[in-house]
Each structure stands twice: as structure tokens, then as C-alpha cells.
Amino acid sequence: MTYLKSTLAASALIALSTGLSAETIGPGGESATPSSSVVVSDGHIAVVQAADYSAALLWHDQSDFVNAVTAGASDEFERLGIEVVAVTSAGFDAAKQRSDIETVLAKSPNIILSLPLDPVTSAAAFEEAREAGVALSFLSNLPADYQHPDDYAAIVTDDLFQMGKQAADALATAMGNEGTVGWIYHDAAYYVTNQRDNAFKTTIENDYPDISIVAEQGISDPARAEEIANVMLLKNPDLGGVYVTWAGPAEGVLAALRANGNTSTKIVTLDLSEPIALDMVRGGNVAAIVADEAYELGRAMAASAVLDLLGENVPPFIVAPALAVTADNVVEGWKKSLNIDAPASLSSK
Amino acid sequence: MTKAINTIRSLDLQRSVIYFGFLGIFLFFAITLHDDGFLTSRNLTNIVLQTAPATIMAIGLVFALSAGEIDLSFGSVVAVAALSAAIAMQNGPIIYGVMAGLGAGIVIGAFNGVLVAYLRLPSFLVTLATMGLFAGIARTMTDLRSIPVLNDTFTGIFGSGKLFGVPSLVIWTIVAVAIGHIIYRNTRFGAHVLAVGDNARAAQVSGIKVPHVRLMVLTLCGATAGLAGLLYAGRLQAAKYTLGESDLMTVIAAVIVGGTALNGGKGSIIGALLGSLMMGMLNNGLILMGLQVSDQMIVRGLIILLAVAISLRETRR
């Protein structure tokens, strides 16, 4: 009973993520507010600069995605005259995340932007920052039992439903709206991937009557993607398409298709990756990659925390748009998603 | 003058490197981060709190390495122990949690120990295998879910509590290091561990039960990992399968930098404590310096490399 009580928020996240909702919804059932509407106006700049705020960015890991979120947040903070005093990476280690929070509090930041690794372990980890009155803007996840607006400024995340839906639409288009599909989903109670994976499945089931999902396989270790795909292809040699929960395991699935000499099965996955995109522009198995606007996520996180410090009303649940990247728009898509130029291998094609 | 030079020459550089290294890094951060809160008592206390589980695991590893063995599985044991404790306390009192956590560590340690001591399998390979085995078991125990720990007494004793104003994790560190140091330096068992690590055949001939010593050091490793699991569960007020995953290299580096020989026969519990604190101080100071994450990793890696190189170079002489 006590366990259930304490993990209410976590359970809510999971329950909502596995539901059949047709839009991205927040952990408390909040409707999504587009990130474009969360803006610190130029009129506020003088007030913010006079307040001499500082910020810390406490990330879960390092990646192109995190770099882009950092760039978006840092540029917004620079525009507003806010110093970024520390940037950390927990390497997906909950204990390190707690240590990082304690360490940066020595510098007394007014703002912390972070991705809480896990609702349960993060609840105690962020407690000190919450008690110190730091404006907390969370990426994609929420510590259990934290209440808006008292405990945090906002959760900012991708338009998760749209990411899954656009992946389904892109795969269906590549398959001529008919055939069989394998669904490789993230086998963990993780809000982001669960919503995206289920949105793909829901869209295929509801919108594409001539496409059937004939194989389902969870994955928790990306290194096992190749063997999972091999088994899936062995049982379903005529598979028209495969959805892979994110780009890391998709690289393993692509390797399996190549090893089998399979050029007909299409892959759709989420989050940008150069090897996956290279296959796509070369007309290989990959049909599309659905990405998020990571730079915009960072900007919106920074803006929401600043608005909170200014005493403005901040929407509890903010989403940045999804972006379907195909061979035709890979250069523009890369720039829009990660705010960096597409790798030379892609732009030269 | 000659006497002074001889004295310096006679200093055991391997043992000294940790003291000089620790002091040097502390002074560097104290000066450069003077205005960034490094020297505040809260920040210095944080370093001890953050390193408490690693320090306690390092104590077990000093015994294992000194006996010529190694344990690579303790990171996985941490997760199994923390999850066992959290599950046991969902419907039971604190004692169930403590027994489940410590018990899991001791049983796994003894399992490693039996395979090494009595089946004569190399500890490197045995614990490499059990590292994967118990990491997998930790994942299946709760289907990857995190389990909250809501017992306030437990989280007080093993996490955020204080006794006479001293944080419980600091007390755990002091008590564990003191007990470890006394056993290592002042007991017959400690002498036997060093004798087995120095020359197992000679130790056997002189009447030391070598397999028993090997079993005991690996069981001790499991027990310290179990205690570290309890401390993580108390500190995070939750248990998760990823706990301890990233500790393996940190703890090994702390122990080696602290003057324990990789090939047995020589070690230091106090050195391991300083090694662990040095790792924590590096993490802390490099963040406070405002370095980018990649730069933090590069600088930390270079400093550890330097310290390990000096330590191991002296060991080979």
C-alpha cells in the first residue's frame, strides 16, 4: 500500500503512457502547451539581468541530443544575462545524479534544468534543491509526488504522441499502406519511450487497416538489437517494416537486415543517428527518422524556469514539436533538431 | 644532509603518493575554488557522504587484492542487496531489510569465495561471470522498476540521519575504516591475508589455511558491497537495478591509488579511504570549476592515470 502511494506519480506516468490517448499528456493528465507559447519577452530582460540569476544544467547523460538541449538553454540564458555555473552528466547513475545536485548547490544556482533519471529515486535527490527554492524545470520526467507549481516550474518534453504517430505514418507510406510490421519497443517503465512506442502501435492499429503488427519484442539492452531482429526475421521472413524504439538499437536491426541480404524490409526509428541517416540517404532499408526539436526543448526549459522566478504563470506541461526526417529533408531536419550542421556524409549525398 | 636524503629515499613512494596526491588536489581546489563554495563545511561533508558507499566497498577490495584475489562483481551485488532490502521492507520491519541486504551480499560473496577457494577457479573469471549473473538477477527482481524505501528509521540510519550532529554516512565511513584497518593491521587474519597474497605456497606450508582465507576475503567483499547497497538505498530512499553499476572502476582506482598492490601482499585501508575521497573530491571540484562534462572526464582520467602509474611503477620495483 505504501509503495503504491509513494509511486503515485510514477504509476500515473506509466498508466498514461500505455493508454490509447491520441495526444501527449502530462503525468497528472495535464494537456500539453506548445513550447512556442513559452517565451520570456524582451521587456523582462532588464528585470532578469538586474536579479543576477545563475543556472545549473544537470543532465542524465551525454549525447548529441543533450548537447542540443544544452545549446538551446545556454543561448536563452545568455540572451537573458544568466550565467550557467555548472554542467554535469550522471551517466544514468541515480546516485551520481544526487551527488551532482548536492555539489552544484554549493554554487547556489537560482535555476536547475535536469532530466530526473527515475521518478522514485529522483524524489529524494531533488529534495534539497526543492527546499532551497531553486526553480526546477524538468526534461521529460517528474520526481514522484512533486506538485506544480509549488515544487517545480514545468516539465518540458517532446510531443511524444506525435513522434510515434509520425513514425507510423512514415513507415506506412514507405510500405504502400499494406503489409506486416515488427514492433521493437523499449522494455522498461520509461515515460518517454513508452508514449512514443505506444503512439506508433495505436496509429498503425487505428489508421492503417491493411497493415498488421505480426511481431512484438521488447528491448532493454540496445546491444541485443541485432539478435532480436534476427529472430524476428527468421520467424517473419516477409516482414514489410520494423519500428525500432530509438536509433541505437535501430543500428543493430539494420546490421541484421544487411547480414541477411534483406533490402525490402523498411525501418523507421526515432532520434537522429548518422549511420541510420546515411542508410536512408543511400536508399537503404531506413525509410524515415522521427526527431524532436532538442534545441527548442532547451530554450523552453530555460524560459519556463525564468518565468517561474519572475512569478509568472507557467504551464505545467510543455511540448516541443516532432519532426519527420527523410532523405529529402535530412540537412534541414538535422539543423532544426540538433542546431548543428548535418554530418558531411549526409550533406554530400 | 645525507641523512635527510636517505630518509626521503627510504619513504615508500607508493604509500606516499596518495597522501601527497590527496593534499595536492585538496590545496589546488581550495585555492582555485575558494569563492565557489569548495571549502564550505557543507561541500566537504557532501564529498564524504557521496563517497561513503565506494569507501566501504574499497575496504573489502583491499582485503581481496591483498590476498591475491580480485572481485569484479561487487557493483552488481550492490544492486541486488539494495533491492533485496527495499523489497523486504515493503511489508516488514527494518531488521528484515538490513538482514536481506547484508545477507544477499554475504551469500553472493561466499558463493564467489567457494568457487575460487575450493573449486580453484580464478577469481578474475569467477567474478567477471557473477558480475553479469547478478546484474541480470537485479534486473529481473523487480522488472527494472525502482522500489521506494519509506522506512524513516532505515533512511535515517543508512542515509540522511545524524548522530550528535554527525551525518550517519560519515559515521559508517569512520567505523568501517577503523574496523577494517584494525583487522588488516592488528589481527592474525590480516597477517594471513597478506601472507597468502605475498606467497600462497609459503603460506600453506607455514600452516595457513589458504582456501579459508580466500573464502573469507571474497565473502568480506560481498558483505561490504551489501552494506554499500544499504547506504545507497538509504541515501536515495529507493533501490534501483543500476545502483553500483558505475562503481567498479572508481573503487578499483581508489584502492590502487591508495597503495594496494594489484598482485597481492601489500595494501592500506587508510590509503583506500584517501583514494576514495580523492575520487569524490575530483568529481566535486571539476564540476565546481564549471568545466564541460567531457573536459571533466578527461581531466579526471589524466589525474587518475598519473596517480595509478606512480603507484604501480613503485610496486614493480
> For the domain that residue A206 is a member of, what is the CATH number?
3.40.50.2300
pLDDT tens for the 317 residues of chain B, in order? 555 555 555 456 656 778 888 999 999 999 999 888 899 998 999 999 999 999 999 999 999 999 999 999 999 999 999 999 999 999 899 999 999 999 999 999 999 999 999 999 999 999 999 999 999 999 899 887 889 999 999 999 999 899 999 999 999 999 999 999 999 999 999 999 999 999 999 999 999 999 999 999 999 999 999 999 999 999 999 999 989 988 999 999 999 999 999 889 999 999 999 999 999 999 999 999 988 888 988 998 998 888 888 777 655 54
The tens digit of pLDDT for each residue in A95-149 reads: 999 999 999 999 999 999 999 988 898 999 999 999 999 999 999 989 999 999 9
Helix and strand counts by DSSP (H, E) for chain B: 14, 4
Considering only CB atoms, which residues of chain B are within 8 Å of chain A? 36-38, 40, 42-43, 46, 49-50, 53, 90, 139, 143-148, 150, 160, 232, 235-238, 240, 242-243, 245-246, 283-284, 287-288, 290, 292-294, 296
Just give the CATH number of B13-316: 1.10.3470
DSSP state of A30: P
Res. A208 pLDDT band, cuts 50 70 90: very high
What residues contact B35, with CB distance under 8 A and at least 6 apart?
none
pLDDT at B263: 87
pLDDT > 70: percent of chain B: 94
Whether residue B43 and residue A123 make contact (CB cut-off 8 A), yes or no, is no
Q: A32 with A317: CB under 8 angstroms?
A: yes
pLDDT at A19: 41
A151 lies in the same domain as A165: no
Whether residue A93 and residue B235 make contact (CB cut-off 8 A), yes or no, is no
A341 lies in the same domain as A195: yes
Q: Mutate which of A70, A96, A107 to disrupt the B interface (most B C-beta within 10 Å)? A: A107
Q: What is the mean pLDDT of residues A205-212?
A: 96
A152 lies in the same domain as A203: no
Between CA A4 and CA B223 the distance in angstroms is: 31
**Residue A136 identity:** L
pLDDT at A1: 32
A166 lies in the same domain as A282: yes
Number of residues that this document lists for chain A = 349
Q: How many CB pairs under 8 A join A and B?
A: 106
B285 interaction partners in chain A (CB closer than 8 Å)? none
DSSP state of A341: P
- Rounded alpha-carbon distances, angstroms, from residue A204 to A171, A186, A243: 9, 17, 11
* CA nearest to A97, candidates A68, A135, A59: A59
Closest by Cβ to A88, choosing from B146, B150, B293: B293
Q: What is the mean pLDDT of residues A3-22?
A: 39
The tens digit of pLDDT for each residue in B129-164 reads: 999 999 999 989 988 788 999 999 999 999 989 999
pLDDT > 70: percent of chain A: 93
A172 lies in the same domain as A282: yes
Whether residue B148 and residue A7 make contact (CB cut-off 8 A), yes or no, is yes
Q: B69 with B212: CB under 8 angstroms?
A: no
Q: What is the rounded average pLDDT for all residues in chain A?
A: 90
> Does the pLDDT at position A16 exceed 90?
no
Phi, psi of A113 (to 5 degrees): -105, 135
Q: How many domains does chain A have?
A: 2
Res. A12 pLDDT band, cuts 50 70 90: very low
pLDDT > 90: percent of chain A: 75
Q: Where are the beta strands (DSSP E) in B81-193?
A: 147-148, 162-163, 166-167
A119 interaction partners in chain B (CB closer than 8 Å)? 146
A104 lies in the same domain as A231: no
How do the domains of chain B map onto residue ranges? 13-316
> Does the pLDDT at position A14 exceed 60?
no
B38 interaction partners in chain A (CB closer than 8 Å)? 106
How far is the alpha carbon of B169 from chain A, nearest alpha carbon, in Å?
13
**Neighbour tally for B298: CB within 10 Å:** 13
Whether residue A3 and residue B240 make contact (CB cut-off 8 A), yes or no, is no
**Grid coordinates of B60:** 573489502
> Does the pLDDT at position A20 exceed 80?
no
How far is the alpha carbon of B168 from chain A, nearest alpha carbon, in Å?
16
Res. A209 pLDDT band, cuts 50 70 90: very high
- A64 lies within 8 A of chain B by CB: no
> Does the pLDDT at position A349 exceed 70?
no
How far is the alpha carbon of B266 from chain A, nearest alpha carbon, in Å?
31
- Range 98-127 of A in CB contact (< 8 A) with B: 98-100, 102-104, 106-108, 118-121, 123-125
Residue of A nearest to B297 (CA): A89
Residue of B nearest to A122 (CA): B236
Q: What sign does the dihedral B222-B228-B234-B237 (CA atoms) show?
A: negative
Angle, helices B41-66 vs B74-88, to 10°: value is 120
Q: What is the pTM of this model?
A: 0.83
Closest by Cβ to B236, choosing from A7, A125, A188: A125
How far is the alpha carbon of B47 from chain A, nearest alpha carbon, in Å?
8
- A2 lies within 8 A of chain B by CB: yes
- A90 lies within 8 A of chain B by CB: no
A67 interaction partners in chain B (CB closer than 8 Å)? none
3-class SS of residue A33: strand
The tens digit of pLDDT for each residue in B159-217 reads: 989 999 999 999 999 999 999 999 999 999 999 999 999 999 999 999 999 999 999 99
Whether residue A2 and residue B284 make contact (CB cut-off 8 A), yes or no, is no
pLDDT at A169: 97
A64 lies in the same domain as A45: yes
Domain that holds residue A233: 160-293+325-347
